[in-house]
Amino acid sequence: MQTIDMATTPLRELNAALQAQAQQTNQTQWVIENPKGAHAVAVGLDAPIEVTVRGSTGYYCAGMNKQATINVTGSAGPGVAENMMSGTVVIEGDASQYAGATGHGGLLVIKGNASSRCGISMKGIDIVVHGNVGHMSAFMAQSGNLVVCGDAGDALGDSLYEARLFVRGSVKSLGADCIEKEMRPEHIEILKDLLARGGCDAKPEEFKRYGSARKLYNFHVDHAGAY
Amino acid sequence: MCGIVGLFLKKEDLRPQLGTLLTDMLITMTDRGPDSAGIAIYGDEAGGLKMTIQSDTPAQTFDGLDAALSAALGAPVTMKIVDTHAVLSLPEGSEADARAFLKEKGIRVMGAGVSMEIFKEVGLPKDVAARFGIRAMGGSHGIGHTRMATESAVTTLGAHPFSTGDDQCLVHNGSLSNHNAMRRVLTEKGFAPQTQNDTEVAACYISSRLAEGANLGEALEGTLEDLDGFFTFVVGTKNGFGVVRDPIACKPAVMAETEDYVAFGSEYRAFAKLPGIDTARVWEPEPATVYFWER
């Protein structure tokens, strides 16, 4: 196991070391100590390594992640796992604004609450929030799944494209063109898998599904496969 | 951008460290705004009124000022000069006369109150804090700001915190869009802002509401109705400390609470050196929600 202490190692050196890990690396376990709210911790990784960040992080932790599994034991600042491509990011505490924004793939798990704009413009990422999400979550979300085990704030799924939204608790209000949809057996299956991967013991049947009414953008069924 | 911090102590033990804790919090926020910095601190009450004044030519301006003001008021006045600022101690009830005297001399009043002192200048937090010896100051609570200027010029008077009422001060991250209309409303009410800065309008708004009988929570609640734009405000009063964010809440904010204190920071980094932060309750204040503490 490799340990990097941010009290003594500069941020760029830390990220360079993590980014230099190759596909076949045998240094698969990394621990980062003393993040103390630092920005851009463990960004741009592209190897199947496991990174544990012991503490809380600032802006843009785990941004652009590919393949890596990153676990933050505290809370994360704005833009955690922004534009993630693949891999897994787990936040044990809360996440600030726009968690998982624009993510193309991979799994983001937030065990506490996420604040506003969670999953804004998501493009294929799966996000599982054990607690609540704030206002404007999944704004213009294009594809992927957002699972909220608690409540959602105002304007959920405003201007939504084809992302699926599952909420167990209350939704303060739905955004433009976002509607509640029938929960069919295939959605229960998708949700069951997401909850299992997100380490959440909620029952899929307790959730409601929300999606796009497809009146705000030009949906054509021939393009359904593109999402 | 802009970086704001605040610390409200619940117990006496940390009082001597307040200046050091606030200084460290503010220095951590330096890269959110390099233009000017300031701190308002609620220190010991000296039994009268404290008035913090500022001059760009302190050597000449402050020379003999205490004696001259004392003669004009017919009452004892003491003065503690700190760099470009000075803290005058006056008998209670002499504020209006003192303000008139200082205005005639062209001396800027940064704030007044029985416990609040306020220090702000153009420059980085570490330099401003060092010039005014903030680290050595004790007190019960305080707020600080490091500025990236948007709505008005980079000057001492454009620096935060703004104080527009006795023992009241405010710092702001954001920009207001209806401050000109609100400035006219407040001027008619007798709470005319002294600068072209948007944040001072918010400070005057809160002072006007408090003067009308609102409590701190109600005054902060009013900002959500009457002020338009982006804001996270942190406000201090003689016994209170409050926080409010606009409904969109783009401007970052995080809070921490332990048995010893309530802390506010633009980012979690600001808390890194606070005692007991690893076990503190840390949360992001909700949009359009007022938080306040009073002792």
Q: What is the ipTM, given to two decimal places?
A: 0.91
- The yes-or-no verdict on residue B280 having pLDDT over 90 is yes
- Closest residue in B to A56 (Cα) is B268
| Last residue within a domain, chosen from B69, B91, B114 | B114
Report chain A residues touching chain B, CB-CB < 8 A.
36-38, 56-59, 75, 77-78, 93-94, 96-97, 115-116, 134-135
| Residue-level pLDDT at A222 | 80
| Residue-level pLDDT at B61 | 96
B250 is catalytic: no
Interchain pair B287, A94: CB under 8 A: no
B136 with B104, same domain: the answer is no
Q: Tell me the residue type at A36.
A: K
Residue A20's nearest CA partner among A54, A37, A44, A55 is A44
Pick the CATH number of A2-226 from 3.40.190.80, 2.160.20.60, 3.50.30.10, 2.130.10.10: 2.160.20.60
Alpha-carbon gap, residue B258 to B260, rounded angstroms: 5
B183 with B147, same domain: the answer is yes
- Closest residue in A to B265 (Cα) is A37
What domain count does chain B have? Answer: 2
| Last residue within a domain, chosen from B88, B114, B140 | B114
Cβ-based burial of B258 (10 A; exposed 0-12, middle 13-18, buried ≥19):
middle
B181 with B279, same domain: the answer is yes
Contacts with B254 from chain A: Cβ below 8 Å: 77, 96
Q: Tell me the residue type at B45.
A: E
B133 with B194, same domain: the answer is yes
For residue A205, the SS3 value is helix
Domain span including residue B96: 46-114
- Closest residue in A to B250 (Cα) is A97
Distance from CA of A72 to the nearest CA of B (A): 14
Looking at B2, B169, B204, B250, which residue is catalytic? B2
B70 with B134, same domain: the answer is no
B211 with B278, same domain: the answer is yes
Measure CB to CB from residue B269 to each of A38, A97, A134 and give the nearest one. A38
Interchain pair B286, A96: CB under 8 A: no
| Residue-level pLDDT at A56 | 97
Q: How many helices (H) and strands (E) does chain A have?
A: 2, 11
B202 with B261, same domain: the answer is yes
Count Cβ neighbours within 10 Å for each residue of B228-249 and write b for 16 or more, e otherwise. ebbbbbbbbbbebbbbbbbebb
B285 touches chain A (CB under 8 A): no
| Residue-level pLDDT at A152 | 98
CATH number of the CATH domain containing B84: 3.30.70.3400
Residue B234's nearest CA partner among B170, B142, B284, B167 is B170
Q: If you compute the radius of gyration of chain B from its CA atoms, what whole number of angstroms results?
A: 18
Q: Name residues 236-275 of chain B within 8 A of A (Cβ).
A: 247, 249-250, 252, 254, 267-272
pLDDT, mean of residues B158-169: 97
Distance from CA of A227 to the nearest CA of B (A): 29
Contacts with B271 from chain A: Cβ below 8 Å: 37
B127 with B100, same domain: the answer is no
pLDDT, mean of residues B152-180: 95
Contacts with B252 from chain A: Cβ below 8 Å: 77-78, 96-97
Distance from CA of B96 to the nearest CA of A (A): 46
pLDDT tens-digit readout, B207-226? 999 999 999 999 999 999 99
Which are the contacts of B181, defined by CB distance < 8 A and separation ≥ 6?
none
B31 touches chain A (CB under 8 A): no
H-run or E-run covering B81: strand B78-82
pLDDT, mean of residues B249-264: 97
| Residue-level pLDDT at A161 | 96
- The yes-or-no verdict on residue B150 having pLDDT over 90 is no
- Closest residue in B to A155 (Cα) is B248
| Residue-level pLDDT at A221 | 78
| Residue-level pLDDT at B46 | 80
B146 with B14, same domain: the answer is yes
pLDDT, mean of residues B28-36: 96
| Residue-level pLDDT at B1 | 82
**Over chain B, what is the mean pLDDT?**
96
Interchain pair B249, A75: CB under 8 A: no
Which are the contacts of B90, defined by CB distance < 8 A and separation ≥ 6?
B48, B49, B50, B51, B69, B73, B75, B77, B98
| Residue-level pLDDT at B236 | 98
B153 with B278, same domain: the answer is yes
Q: Tell me the residue type at A31.
A: V
Alpha-carbon gap, residue B15 to B9, rounded angstroms: 7
| Residue-level pLDDT at A226 | 74
Tokens of A107: 């799994």
| Last residue within a domain, chosen from B69, B86, B114 | B114
| Residue-level pLDDT at B152 | 85
- Closest residue in A to B267 (Cα) is A58
B192 with B128, same domain: the answer is yes
Interchain pair A97, B252: CB under 8 A: yes
Residue B142's nearest CA partner among B151, B150, B153, B132 is B132
Query: Within chain A, which residues score under 50 in pLDDT?
Result: none
pLDDT tens-digit readout, B64-111? 999 999 999 999 999 999 999 999 999 999 999 999 999 999 999 999
pTM: 0.94
Interchain pair A37, B282: CB under 8 A: no
| Residue-level pLDDT at B151 | 80
Interface test with B, best of A6, A11, A34, A56 (most B CBs within 10 A): A56
B62 with B129, same domain: the answer is no
| Residue-level pLDDT at A225 | 77
Tokens of A59: 């802006």
| Residue-level pLDDT at A23 | 86
